[in-house]
Amino acid sequence: MRNVTDAIMANLDTESAQTPGSLKWEGLSEIDQAIRDNRLMEYRIKKSWADPWARSLTIAVLVVIAAGFSYLAGASFGLW
């Protein structure tokens, strides 16, 4: 009699984590490898930081947030 979990669980241990992707699907294999290594957030941050528009937008948003916090901190200390 077969175990019930054998039918439900995926056969992940037989799939190699180092499966080489073809050159045509290079970007998708990179994302697939990131998902497999559980580092998708790191992949997204690196890719968005490499994009000049996304990097500029990220820096601008961080500057606005820092200015808002510094204004609130200055107001709480009675500087203005």
Contact 29, 22 (CB under 8 A): yes
Give residue 16's pLDDT.
Answer: 52
CB 54 within 8 A of CB 46: no
Confidence (pTM): 0.50
Contacts (Cβ under 8 Å, ≥6 apart) of 79: none
Q: Which two tokens stand for residue 30?
A: 């990179």
pLDDT tens, residue order, the chain (80 aa): 555 555 555 555 555 555 555 556 777 888 788 788 878 788 888 888 999 999 999 999 999 999 999 999 999 998 87
How would you label 54-78 residue by residue, b for 16+ Cβ within 10 Å and e otherwise? eeeeeeeeeeeeeeeeeeeeeeeee
Report the pLDDT value the prediction gives residue 35, as an integer from 0 to 100. 80
